[in-house]
Amino acid sequence: MKQFRLTIILLLLAAAAGAQEVNFYPTNWWLGMNNPRVQVMLHSKDIGKGDITMAEYAGVQLEKVHKAENPNYVFLDLLITGAAKPGNLSFTVKQGKNSRTLQYPIGARRKGNGKDYAKGVTSEDLVYLLIPDRFSNGDPSNDKIPGLLDQTLNRDSIYHRHGGDLKGIIKHLDYLQDLGVTALWLLPVWQNNMPDRTEHGYAITNHYRVEPRLGTNEDYLALSNELHNRGMKLVQDVIYNHTGLFHFFVQDKPMKDWLHEWPAYTQTNYKDQILFDPYASTTDRKKLLDGWFTPMMPDLNQGNPFVANFLIQHAIWSVEQFGVDGWRIDTYIYNDLDFMNRCNKALLDEYPQISIFGETWVHGVPNQAYFTANNLGDVPFKSNLPATTDFQQLFYGIQETLTKPFGWTDGVNKLYTTTAQDYMYRDPMKQVIFLDNHDLARFYSVIGEDTAKYKIALSWLLTFRGVPQLYYGNENLMTGFTNPDGWVRLDFKGGWPGDKENKFTSAGRTAKENEIFNHLRSLAQFRRQSSAIKTGKLMQFVPEDGVYVYFRYDGNQTIMCVMNTNTTEKTIETGRYSERTNGFKKGLDIPTGKTYELNGKLTLSPMSMLVLNLGV
């Protein structure tokens, strides 16, 4: 009898061990969404070979069950009406004589949409971009996770993981807030279970699990909550175009057309012009949109409605689950643009105040304007993307200003001309301006580590139109060129226990670093209270003899920005700017605290910039 019972127990244990885990994507959903429908993907071995039914639940209907080509997937179309209440939906999966019950949670939505979260990142903010793996290590216990493909941990290598994480970021929010930062943009936080370097986060292998070497979903929520408690905001980085090669739905595709696949590996041609070129070939267009970003990043087929739903729902789930305020879209130009319009609209329908900006690494204001809400008139495609990362103000604006001598079309004239083309944008104040990022050479290196030029660049960044974005380490003179990219993704010194230098403190910074830090901080803190800079108008004057003057102004305040790009002292006649200076006799320079008289002449130091608060 005992032997019989032991046999039964072993059989039950074997059956339990053989039962495959069922994963839901999205992992949960909410009541009261603007769109009452959600499509839930179930992934488990042979789940599609069984029959799935849903127990009766007031206010919720199972409208359709989609069996995928791959029996390891099933898609459920749910309608969640206003009559539903929070709880667990109960699904029964029957396979032959066997059946099992699955629970799917639906809950109440967050309160404070547009006020406490999904607030939007605007021209009133100062955004700080960082790489979680390279900023600070707050939890050494997650530096290596057993079972993941990449087990490297070596801070001496730019190619390996370094151990930075979400708890490390939380630890240094006081530092960021003191600097004047109001919004935090992290490179993607989702799992990147790839065999090679993915400290950047752009090779997602699970959209619903935070990269465990960065922390947990709970840690991400804790970061969001801490930011919001401080009146700060969270920007999430998202990739619609591609995913990691080792994503579960790449290794085990739900359908044959889940990805864009070719007879032989085909990479995108990276040529954005094809999309608006009246003479472009169909072949080139297909290669741009359907080619893979890299061999390790397969291209998702957004024309497949199940792929489209998966991506859109992940966006909405992220905002609702974690209280995201801003949305940055990677590699925007390589996506199917009709899909992107649909995706942007779906997000804005649920969260009207959220900000969305896309990476458009293109050349030329018309090229960039094509991909955002614009005033271009009759063009082949009209985008609803609210804003882009403004590569034009970087490449053909401030970078030209500080690396080329003044000329009829060169030097600071490039900045003036580029800005004059703002008429192409529906709302240029939503454009995100920056000096560098994780894919670009550090700006301090680009200008030959010239601190005078760097002060001009920072003063421009914090006073110009648009949403200013810093890259971690801008404030303490981090350097590096992109050959390879790792040199612009070095660790923030002081973020790891035992670091010999600590750039989070004034004592750990050099005199030159503190000079730049204090210059930036004074501008950033002033900016937080300046209505003219945050939301005022911009007026620029044609540069003369290497001197460029622009104003930020509203009914309460006027800020005069005077940029001398010469290596010699210059004196300007203030009367030329009387359109904006009339009634003002003096101005206080924000970075230095020095007062300047506006009595007809203004003498400018070589390679310098004044930020004058007029009338103070």
d(CA 531, CA 45): 58
DSSP 3-state of 613? strand
DSSP 3-state of 511? helix
d(CA 614, CA 616): 6
d(CA 196, CA 412): 42
Q: What is the dihedral of CA 219, 220, 224, 226, to 10 degrees?
A: 20
Q: For the chain, what's the residue count? A: 616
Furthest C-alpha separation in the chain: 108
d(CA 396, CA 382): 25
Whether the upstream peptide bond of residue 405 has omega within 30° of 0, thus cis, is no
Residue 277 a catalytic site member: no
d(CA 221, CA 419): 39
d(CA 8, CA 2): 10
Residues in Cβ contact with 375 at an 8 Å cutoff, skipping those fewer than 6 apart:
369, 423, 424, 425, 426
Which alpha helices (DSSP H) does 530-600 contain, by range?
531-535, 578-581
DSSP 3-state of 226? helix
Instruction: Using alpha carbons, list the distances in angstroms from residue 531 to 390, 413, 451, 537.
Output: 22, 27, 28, 10
Residue 218 a catalytic site member: no
Question: Tokens for 206?
Answer: 């699970």
Considering the candidates 165, 211, 237, 330, report the single residue annotated as catalytic: 330
Which alpha helices (DSSP H) does 172-211 contain, by range?
173-179
Beta strands in 252-411 (DSSP E): 326-329, 355-358, 387-388
| H-run or E-run covering 553 | strand 547-553
Which alpha helices (DSSP H) does 241-336 contain, by range?
248-251, 282-290, 305-322
Q: How far is CA 79 from the centre of its chain?
A: 31
C-alpha angle 93-96-102 in degrees, rounded to nearest 5: 15
Quick count: other Cβ atoms within 10 Å of Cβ 421? Answer: 16
In this structure, what DSSP letter does residue 242 have? B
Considering the candidates 359, 390, 436, 475, report the single residue annotated as catalytic: 359
Instruction: Answer yes or no: are the C-beta atoms of 254 and 304 closer than 8 Å.
Output: no
Instruction: Answer yes or no: are the C-beta atoms of 475 and 524 closer than 8 Å.
Output: no
Angle between helical axes of 451-463 and 511-529 (0-180°, round to 10): 10
Residues in Cβ contact with 501 at an 8 Å cutoff, skipping those fewer than 6 apart:
493, 494, 508
DSSP 3-state of 222? helix
Instruction: Answer yes or no: are the C-beta atoms of 169 and 223 closer than 8 Å.
Output: yes
Task: Tell me which residues are annotated as active site.
Answer: 330, 359
